Chains A and B, each alone.
Chain A
Amino acid sequence: MTFLLGSFLGFAALSFVLGKILVLLPEPIGSRSDLFVEGAKVTLLITLNSALIGLVLGVLMGLARGSPRAWLRAPALAYIWLIRGTPVLVQIMFVFYALPVLVPQLQLDEFWAASIALGLNVGAYNAEVIRAGIQAVPQGQTEAARSLGLSNVSTLRWIVLPQAIRIVVPPLVNNIVALLKDSSLASAIGLLELTLAGNRISSETFLPVPVLTTVAALYLIYTTAITIVTTLLERMMKLRAHV
């Protein structure tokens, strides 16, 4: 928990520093740094939102997907099949444009439409990762726990999941890195995130090279930061696990 809070503050600090650096850059970056900063903030926030939605969905669907009960497995399979078989851009547009037509109550703004669509998307990929992680815990662990009288749920909670978490963290983070990059597709529904911000500045100034280079550099800095945080997290877990 402290680690999560620490990384969150780390990202906030990183964004603050990047903002200060952007102001100092020559034209056309320095004068428009506020728009870059605003875009980066939106990009990070939809990534955070959809990562959380995707984590919850991934755990639930991953468990359901590996369940011996068909009535749990079937909806999870359908969800994963649907999401992985359609483009994420179509999913974002569907949630923003088509969903309100089908269900008028679900009139979402650009920000929440993108967060939810991306969350649904990454949830399907997370579900497969989590199912694989659970299956990677040796069967003997479950047998030992059950033969001590632990229930199915207790075995999952105290024996299987704690061991599966160590297996699933690296691939889950890969999914978050992919998510951060995919969030640029939210520009298609007019959400002013980093890519759309860059696109606007680029067309206003007719200087695509410095502007789009800055946009790409910002994505690269954030994805690299995520990877570094994960490497630290993995090292910490290894120290604690002794396995």
Chain B
Amino acid sequence: MSEVLLSIRALHKSYGSFHVLKGIDLDVKTKEVLCVVGPSGSGKSSFIRSINQLEPYQSGEVRLHGHLIDSNMNIDKIRQEIGMVFQSFNLFPHLTVLENLTLAPMRVRGLSAQQAKAKALELLRRVNIVEQKDKYPSKLSGGQQQRVAIARALAMEPKIMLFDEPTSALDPEMISEVLNVMKDLAKSGMTMIVVTHEMGFAREVADRVIFMDGGLIVEDTTPDEFFTSPKHPRSQLFLSQILAR
């Protein structure tokens, strides 16, 4: 059995009077790949953004390697260990692809320019985009931008990668190039939490599927279980709606 890497207890979050997360408990082991699915408004994005404190939450705790993550500690330190990929890529438009990858390792980890560049090139090769290294993000397609964003997060050598609907802003023909990179990453043993609507990906790659609805984890099971015999009526309804398309 591998160790618990990330542990979340009784996480509650509200936007004003709107209670989005109503007590989330979750343990993630090293090298596990979790796919978080559920209807829109179920709190998936708020949940994943709470993990590294991009969204403040009112109560509950998140621990990485047993260390409590809260706003009082040096949050920059813990964020280095948690890679994040956004729906809208959020590449830095004033920097080249290569500079997007080298900025944080140099400024935060203190790598030399050569070290950071060597590492960046290796990662760009890994996501198949090294030939675009000197371009600016606006010159790349959405799929290419998202692969660069994944490489940028990996450049910090995180312990865990969070993906917040990484393919939702992509044109259909570009989704698979991003999913393939994520599959390779999962195979390489990266611990991942992926909020996604890509059920095929969840089925093929995930170790566990987390179904969220109404701010709660309704079902936490294997992909086989979830897609063939979901237990909860709300999971059944969700799946029937998705498969009906």
Give me the interface of A with B, judged by CB distance under 8 Å.
Answer: 138, 140-141, 143-151, 154, 158-159, 162-163, 166, 241-243
Contact = CB atoms under 8 A, between A and B. Distances in A.
A143 B77 CA distance: 15
B180 interface: no
B118 interface: no
Nearest to A165: B94
A158 B94 CA distance: 10
Among the interface residues A141, A144, A158, A166, which one has the most CB atoms of the partner chain B within 10 A?
A144
Among the interface residues B76, B80, B91, B139, which one has the most CB atoms of the partner chain A within 10 A?
B76
A163 B94 contact: yes
Nearest to A241: B94
Interface stretch (B81-89, B189-197, B221-229, B234-242): B81-89
Interface in B55-87: 76-77, 79-80, 82-84, 86
B10 interface: no
B54 A243 contact: no
Given A149-B77, A149-B104, A149-B108, A140 B90 contact: yes
Contacts of A159: 92
Nearest to A138: B90
B93 A241 contact: yes
Interface of B: 52, 54, 76-77, 79-80, 82-84, 86, 88, 90-94, 103-104, 107-108, 136, 138-139, 149, 152-153, 156
Closest 6 CB pairs of A and B: A149-B80, A242-B136, A144-B90, A148-B104, A147-B84, A140-B90
Contact of B138 (A158, A163, A166, A243): A243
A153 B79 CA distance: 15
A147 B82 contact: yes
B12 to A, nearest CB: 22
A140 B137 CA distance: 15
23 contacts: A138-B90, A140-B86, A140-B88, A143-B54, A143-B84, A143-B90, A144-B90, A145-B104, A146-B79, A147-B79, A147-B84, A148-B156, A149-B79, A149-B156, A150-B76, A151-B76, A159-B92, A162-B94, A163-B92, A242-B93, A242-B136, A242-B138, A243-B94
Nearest to A163: B94
Given A154-B107, A243-B136, A148 B86 contact: no
A141 B90 contact: yes
Contacts of B83: 147
A232 to B, nearest CB: 19
B110 to A, nearest CB: 11
